[in-house]
Chains A and B, each alone.
Chain A
Amino acid sequence: MKRVKRRYLALQLEMDSVPSEKELMDAIWGSVTRLYGEVGASLTSMALINFDVSCKIVVVRTSLETLGAVRASLACITNVTGKVASVHVLAVSGTIKALFKRF
């Protein structure tokens, strides 16, 4: 079976308050689902790796094939739990170790 290539994204969350991990992932999944539908979202194999609450930096994992779709969906996020928010991609890497070296 072909190995699934993954990419790790470091995200900067810009928001006045701090959402919970579940609220944040719901917002990200919601954005992907709105743009690509449920089947499209399921293909991303997205997962939360780390959420640094103090500096609002989030690390998520996705498959390489759907990286473009996930990045586009992240750029389209305008609110999290009804509060104004935006998500910026700080770095993308193939390994978590390399990702943390980048920013």
Chain B
Amino acid sequence: MKRSFADLHLKININELSILQSAIHRAAKFGYRHLAVSFSFEPSIDEIENLKTLCKNVEVELVLRADLYPRNENELMHNLRRLRRKFDIICVICDDKEISRQAAKDRRVDLLNFPNTDYRKRFFDRSEAELARSGCAALEIDIKSLLVLEGPARTRFLSCLRREVAIAKIFDVPIILSSGATEERFMRMPRDMASVAYLFGLSDVEALNTVSMNPLAIVLRNREKLKCNFIAPGIRVVKEGNVF
């Protein structure tokens, strides 16, 4: 069966419409079928509709994604309550250990993203992985950092990624590879992205899953949850009866 590819992290500002349009066109040309544009604020309905139209024109499905940058645990909980039912994907940008732990154990969080390239500020260790597994969260890796860094910094970053990927594999935490592109030049074809995963120890099939099966599974799971007939995993309203 032909794989369907997804890039769940396009970080282009939605106010720069021409750049965004050209990035969406490029993604379609590269063979992506699902594309997530990240919002760090609550977009208006018009903005979402515009984006959906842009994507529909090139036969790409838009995935709504919220990036949360909480300063403390309370703010994280507040944002999750406010935004969970409005977005397909919720990603927490983990800059702090307490926040990353809280995000990993919360079932409303889909992706854990560690933007820091400094190993002291990356908190994906065994404890985090265990929490992420029980909370059904996935580890997201942006390849942009790899493209931007050079020399010893990239070496250290690759070493961190190799360790994190090994831990994620031990604890069965899904890994998602995203472009994290802020500009078009950081976008890569899905199979090229997967080939980058070769650098931190994923096999060919595992690497391809990080850009196809794993992200799509999260999107489908969440869309199912967001449907009005969803009650709990495995339970949904099939038919409504008469109320006596």
The judgment on whether A and B are partners is yes
Bound together, the chains give a CA A30 to CA B174 distance in angstroms of: 33
Query: Would you call A76 and B147 a contact (CB within 8 A)?
Result: yes
Which one, B30, B188, B189, B198, contacts A68 given CB within 8 A?
B198
B148 to chain A, nearest CB (A): 8
By size class, the interface of chain B is 20 to 34
A23 CB, min distance to chain B CBs, angstroms: 18
A85 CA / B183 CA spacing, docked (Å)? 12
Q: A35-B199, A69-B198, A84-B185 are in contact. Are A74 and B192 (CB under 8 A)?
A: yes
How distant is the Cα of A100 from the Cα of B199 in the complex, in angstroms? Answer: 28
A14 to chain B: which residues have CB within 8 Å? 185
- Nearest B residue to A14 via CB reads B185
CB within 8 Å: A-B pair count:
45
Q: For residue B49, which residues in chain A have a CB less than 8 angstroms away from its CB? A: none
Complex: A13 Cα to B199 Cα, angstroms: 22
Tell whether, in the assembled complex, residue A75 and residue B196 are in contact, meaning their CB atoms are under 8 Å apart: yes
A72 contact from B151, B154, B189, B199, Cβ within 8 A: B199
Which residue of A35, A85, A89 contacts B189 across the interface (Cβ within 8 Å)? A89
Contacts of A86 in B (CB 8 A): 185, 187-188
Q: Find out whether the CB atom of A76 lies under 8 angstroms from the CB atom of B198.
A: no
Residue of A whose beta carbon sits closest to that of B187: A86
CB distance from A58 to the nearest CB of B (A): 14
Known: A76-B146, A78-B147, A84-B185. A89 touches B198 (CB 8 A): no
> Is B150's CB under 8 angstroms from A34's CB?
yes
Give the distance in Å from the alpha carbon of A34 to the alpha carbon of B151 in the complex: 7
B191 at interface by CB-CB < 8 Å: yes
Q: Which residues of B contact A71 (CB under 8 A)?
A: 191-192, 195, 198
Interface residue? B64 (CB, 8 A): no
Does A6 count as interface, using CB distance less than 8 angstroms? no
Q: Mark A70-90, 1 if CB is under 8 A from B, else 0.
A: 011011101000001110110
A75 to B211, CA, bound (A): 15
- Whether a CB of chain A sits under 8 angstroms from the CB of B55 is no
When C-beta atoms are compared, the residue in chain B nearest to A90 turns out to be B189
Interface residues of A (CB under 8 A from B): 14, 34-35, 68-69, 71-72, 74-76, 78, 84-86, 88-89
Closest 9 CB pairs of A and B: A71-B195, A75-B192, A68-B198, A72-B198, A72-B195, A88-B189, A75-B196, A72-B199, A78-B147
Q: A35-B199, A71-B195, A88-B189 are in contact. List 12 more A-B contacts (CB 8 A).
A: A68-B204, A71-B192, A71-B198, A72-B198, A74-B192, A75-B192, A75-B193, A78-B185, A85-B185, A86-B185, A86-B188, A89-B192
Ordered by A's residue number, 29 sampled pairs between the chains whose C-beta atoms are within 8 Å are A14-B185, A34-B150, A34-B154, A68-B198, A68-B204, A69-B198, A71-B191, A72-B195, A74-B192, A75-B143, A75-B192, A75-B195, A75-B196, A76-B196, A78-B148, A78-B185, A78-B186, A84-B185, A85-B185, A86-B185, A86-B187, A86-B188, A88-B30, A88-B188, A88-B189, A88-B192, A89-B189, A89-B191, A89-B192
